[in-house]
Amino acid sequence: MGPMKKATILGVGFAGFLFVVPRMISAGPVFECPPEGTDLTWETFAVPFFETWCTEPCHVHAWQDSYTDTYPRRDSILGLVVSGGMPRDPAPAPPQTEIDKLEEWVTCGAPAECPPGGTDLTWETFAQPWFQEYCNGCHTWEASYSLTYEIRDVMLQLVLDTEMPQFGSVPPDDLEKFAEWMLCDSPAGGSPCAYGFTEAEQVFAAYCTQCHSVNLSGAARQGAPEGMNWDDYASVLANASGIRDVLLPPQRMRGDDPFSAPRMPPHDTAVPEPELDLMIDWLACGAPQLSGGASYARGDANDDGQEDLSDAVFILASIFTGGDPVLCRDAADTNTDGFIDLADAVYLLSFIFQSKAPPLPPFPLCGTGPLLGCDTYVSCD
């Protein structure tokens, strides 16, 4: 999964509004989420807040234990804290600065983060069976990854608020997994990714490069920002997640729902669904330059099944002293910059000894998504 991805679920419920009416009267309007959002998350703010102010002496093993259990109660919790109804005596009240942060976290959608190290849950191995079990009475979400990805935030909100599924309930363990998959940006995990840039370039040429081309400038780009050229692999790779968010068909759902706003390409032109699903899957794989490739774990350059000092030594030896050749170049590309060099050894050592950022997926679990290529890798067999 790579860098931690926040998934923010928008909206404050009516019940929460009722609870904070006294705040509006006594201390001005209710907090509004800043345009840029918030950097407060479940992991960095909410868990410590609940542990400090709510766990003892009343809510032992409660709010801080489960995001999926806390999320549906977020408005009620906020209202009780803001109104002074919680925490109750003899527990001390949080300082106003902490209450303000709680209000910001809730009104910005109660964001949470993907777990460190990512998830091994994928569209194929987890989400499709999940939808078949809990949603197929009314929907067919498992039929199209691109449609599911398009409405992911709305879907997560409805499920966490227990508004969906309408018939029956989801067991806590499966609910936790669903939230994890969504918070980690709903990874698809083709085995291996069927697309490379050669195949994707054909779709870009058919639907996108009339505007997004390195060969166009000025008015000829029809509003396409400079530098966003989808016939240029480096630009595609740098903007892969943004492309995935807009390369979804317009008006897939009814009415004026927020997730049915017009997308790219413009002018009522949509990529045919079979090609669209392959493109979305390719972008979810990290937009690899090459198709196929062995499953591997990034950072395990010497293919011994673990990421440690010996991998950094292996990378340095292969570069500087004529050591064994790197057979899985993507595994050795620890910083995911498309090169095997000194920076990869430094990146891995910083992670191991200084707790710096871990390698991007596939890490620590095996996966695919080749950029440089992975001819041989036995530890994931």
Give yes or no for residue 201 having a pLDDT over 60: yes
Give yes or no for residue 156 having a pLDDT over 50: yes
Beta carbons within 8 Å of 16's beta carbon, 6+ residues apart? 74, 75, 76, 78, 79, 106
Share of the chain above pLDDT 90, in %: 9
Better-predicted residue by pLDDT, 244 or 44:
44
| Lowest-confidence segment of 166-180, 288-302, 309-323 by average pLDDT | 288-302
pLDDT at 285: 66
Confidence band, pLDDT 50/70/90 cuts, at residue 5: very low
Residue found under tokens 């992911």: 152
- Tell me how far apart the alpha carbons of residues 291 and 195 are, in angstroms, rounded to a whole number: 5
**Taking the domains of the chain in order of start, what are their residue ranges?**
6-113, 123-183, 197-284, 293-381
Tell me what the mean pLDDT of segment 168-184 comes to: 86
Average pLDDT of the chain, as a whole number? 76
C-beta pairs of 235-244 under 8 Å, 24+ apart in sequence: 236/197, 236/200, 236/204, 236/287, 237/287, 237/289, 237/338, 237/371, 240/283, 240/286, 240/287, 241/185, 241/283, 243/283, 244/149, 244/280, 244/283, 244/284
Tell me what the mean pLDDT of segment 334-342 comes to: 85
Under 8 Å between Cβ of 178 and 159: yes
Going by the DSSP 8-state scheme, the letter that residue 338 receives in this structure is S
Going by the DSSP 8-state scheme, the letter that residue 247 receives in this structure is S
- Tell me how far apart the alpha carbons of residues 101 and 366 are, in angstroms, rounded to a whole number: 38
Question: Which one-letter amino acid corresponds to residue 279?
Answer: M
Alpha carbon of 340 to those of 192, 241, 296, 299, 323: distances in Å?
A: 22, 24, 16, 11, 14
- Tell me how far apart the alpha carbons of residues 126 and 113 are, in angstroms, rounded to a whole number: 19
pLDDT at 342: 92
Going by the DSSP 8-state scheme, the letter that residue 367 receives in this structure is B
pLDDT at 71: 86
30-81 pLDDT, tens digit per residue, is 567 888 788 888 888 888 888 888 765 565 545 556 888 888 888 888 888 8
Domain 293-381 has CATH 1.10.1330.10: yes
252-278 pLDDT, tens digit per residue, is 433 344 444 446 666 656 677 777 777
Better-predicted residue by pLDDT, 194 or 101:
101
pLDDT at 349: 94
